[in-house]
Amino acid sequence: MAHEFPIRVYYEDTDLAGIVYYANYLKFIERGRSEFVRALGVDQVALKADHGVVFAVRRVEADYLRPAKFDDELVVTTDLVAETGARFVMEQTVQRDGEVLFTAQVTIVCLNEAGAAQRLPADIRRKLAPKLH
Protein backbone atom coordinates (compact mmCIF):
# COMPACT_ATOMS: atom_id res chain seq x y z
CA MET A 1 0.00 0.00 0.00
CA ALA A 2 1.30 3.46 -0.92
CA HIS A 3 2.13 6.04 1.70
CA GLU A 4 -0.03 9.19 1.54
CA PHE A 5 1.01 12.69 2.55
CA PRO A 6 -1.42 15.65 2.37
CA ILE A 7 -0.27 19.05 1.13
CA ARG A 8 -2.15 22.30 0.61
CA VAL A 9 -1.11 24.65 -2.20
CA TYR A 10 -0.05 28.01 -0.82
CA TYR A 11 0.26 31.28 -2.70
CA GLU A 12 4.06 30.96 -2.63
CA ASP A 13 3.74 27.69 -4.61
CA THR A 14 2.05 29.36 -7.58
CA ASP A 15 2.87 31.58 -10.52
CA LEU A 16 1.04 34.75 -11.55
CA ALA A 17 -1.84 32.68 -12.95
CA GLY A 18 -2.37 30.94 -9.58
CA ILE A 19 -1.09 27.62 -10.99
CA VAL A 20 1.54 25.58 -9.14
CA TYR A 21 4.98 26.36 -10.57
CA TYR A 22 6.36 23.18 -12.15
CA ALA A 23 9.47 22.91 -9.93
CA ASN A 24 7.34 22.89 -6.79
CA TYR A 25 6.02 19.42 -7.63
CA LEU A 26 9.57 18.21 -7.01
CA LYS A 27 9.42 19.82 -3.56
CA PHE A 28 6.06 18.19 -2.89
CA ILE A 29 7.31 14.70 -3.78
CA GLU A 30 10.51 15.26 -1.76
CA ARG A 31 8.35 15.88 1.29
CA GLY A 32 6.33 12.77 0.48
CA ARG A 33 9.49 10.64 0.26
CA SER A 34 10.83 12.07 3.52
CA GLU A 35 7.58 11.25 5.31
CA PHE A 36 7.51 7.77 3.74
CA VAL A 37 11.00 7.02 5.05
CA ARG A 38 10.10 8.48 8.47
CA ALA A 39 6.95 6.32 8.60
CA LEU A 40 9.17 3.25 8.08
CA GLY A 41 11.08 4.20 11.22
CA VAL A 42 14.20 5.36 9.40
CA ASP A 43 15.88 8.34 11.07
CA GLN A 44 17.98 9.93 8.33
CA VAL A 45 20.04 11.98 10.79
CA ALA A 46 20.91 8.79 12.73
CA LEU A 47 21.58 6.96 9.46
CA LYS A 48 24.23 9.54 8.61
CA ALA A 49 25.68 9.60 12.14
CA ASP A 50 25.70 5.82 12.66
CA HIS A 51 26.50 4.54 9.16
CA GLY A 52 27.83 7.59 7.26
CA VAL A 53 25.09 7.06 4.67
CA VAL A 54 22.83 9.66 3.06
CA PHE A 55 20.16 9.39 0.37
CA ALA A 56 20.41 11.38 -2.85
CA VAL A 57 18.18 11.64 -5.90
CA ARG A 58 19.90 10.08 -8.90
CA ARG A 59 17.12 10.33 -11.45
CA VAL A 60 13.61 11.73 -11.82
CA GLU A 61 11.27 10.95 -14.67
CA ALA A 62 8.21 13.18 -14.36
CA ASP A 63 4.92 13.79 -16.16
CA TYR A 64 2.88 16.92 -15.60
CA LEU A 65 -0.70 15.93 -16.42
CA ARG A 66 -2.97 18.65 -15.01
CA PRO A 67 -2.38 21.88 -13.11
CA ALA A 68 -2.85 22.28 -9.37
CA LYS A 69 -4.00 25.70 -8.22
CA PHE A 70 -3.82 27.98 -5.22
CA ASP A 71 -5.55 26.51 -2.13
CA ASP A 72 -5.98 23.02 -3.61
CA GLU A 73 -5.72 20.14 -1.16
CA LEU A 74 -3.36 17.59 -2.66
CA VAL A 75 -2.17 14.13 -1.68
CA VAL A 76 1.32 12.90 -2.48
CA THR A 77 1.48 9.11 -2.75
CA THR A 78 4.78 7.27 -2.52
CA ASP A 79 5.28 3.63 -3.34
CA LEU A 80 8.53 1.65 -3.28
CA VAL A 81 8.82 -0.41 -6.47
CA ALA A 82 12.42 -1.67 -6.52
CA GLU A 83 15.44 -1.97 -4.25
CA THR A 84 18.99 -3.13 -4.83
CA GLY A 85 22.10 -2.93 -2.70
CA ALA A 86 22.73 0.78 -3.05
CA ARG A 87 19.57 2.20 -4.64
CA PHE A 88 15.82 2.13 -4.55
CA VAL A 89 13.11 3.31 -6.91
CA MET A 90 9.87 5.00 -5.91
CA GLU A 91 6.76 5.82 -7.89
CA GLN A 92 5.05 8.98 -6.75
CA THR A 93 1.89 10.83 -7.68
CA VAL A 94 0.32 14.13 -6.75
CA GLN A 95 -3.47 13.93 -6.72
CA ARG A 96 -6.42 16.23 -6.13
CA ASP A 97 -9.65 14.48 -5.15
CA GLY A 98 -8.36 11.23 -6.65
CA GLU A 99 -7.39 12.84 -9.97
CA VAL A 100 -3.72 12.35 -10.83
CA LEU A 101 -2.05 15.68 -11.63
CA PHE A 102 1.60 14.64 -11.64
CA THR A 103 3.55 11.38 -11.70
CA ALA A 104 7.21 10.64 -11.15
CA GLN A 105 9.54 7.71 -10.91
CA VAL A 106 12.45 8.61 -8.65
CA THR A 107 15.69 6.68 -8.25
CA ILE A 108 17.41 7.22 -4.91
CA VAL A 109 21.00 6.21 -4.28
CA CYS A 110 22.82 5.71 -1.01
CA LEU A 111 26.09 7.60 -0.72
CA ASN A 112 28.89 7.59 1.82
CA GLU A 113 30.50 10.77 3.12
CA ALA A 114 32.89 10.86 0.15
CA GLY A 115 29.94 10.82 -2.28
CA ALA A 116 30.53 7.25 -3.50
CA ALA A 117 27.80 4.62 -3.75
CA GLN A 118 27.27 2.78 -0.47
CA ARG A 119 25.17 -0.33 0.20
CA LEU A 120 22.08 0.15 2.29
CA PRO A 121 22.65 -1.01 5.85
CA ALA A 122 20.93 -4.37 6.51
CA ASP A 123 18.54 -2.89 9.10
CA ILE A 124 17.32 -0.30 6.58
CA ARG A 125 16.89 -2.96 3.87
CA ARG A 126 14.73 -4.96 6.29
CA LYS A 127 12.48 -1.93 6.81
CA LEU A 128 12.14 -1.37 3.06
CA ALA A 129 11.63 -5.01 2.03
CA PRO A 130 8.02 -5.36 3.27
CA LYS A 131 7.05 -2.27 1.25
CA LEU A 132 8.02 -3.79 -2.11
CA HIS A 133 5.07 -5.05 -4.13
User: Domains in the chain: how many in total?
Assistant: 1
Q: Give yes or no for residue 95 having a pLDDT over 80.
A: yes
Instruction: Give the active site residues.
Output: 15
Residue type, 1: M
- Give the model confidence (pLDDT) of 14-53 as tens digits: 999 999 999 999 999 999 999 999 999 999 998 899 889 9
Give the domain extent around 68.
3-131
CATH number at residue 66: 3.10.129.10
Give one DSSP letter per residue of 66-123, joined into a string. S--BTT-EEEEEEEEEEE-SSEEEEEEEEEETTEEEEEEEEEEEEE-TTS-B-PPPHH
Mean pLDDT check: name the lowest of 21-30, 105-114, 118-127.
Answer: 118-127
Q: What angle do CA 68, 78, 46 make, to 5 degrees?
A: 120
pLDDT tens column, 45-80: 988 998 899 999 999 999 999 999 999 999 999 999
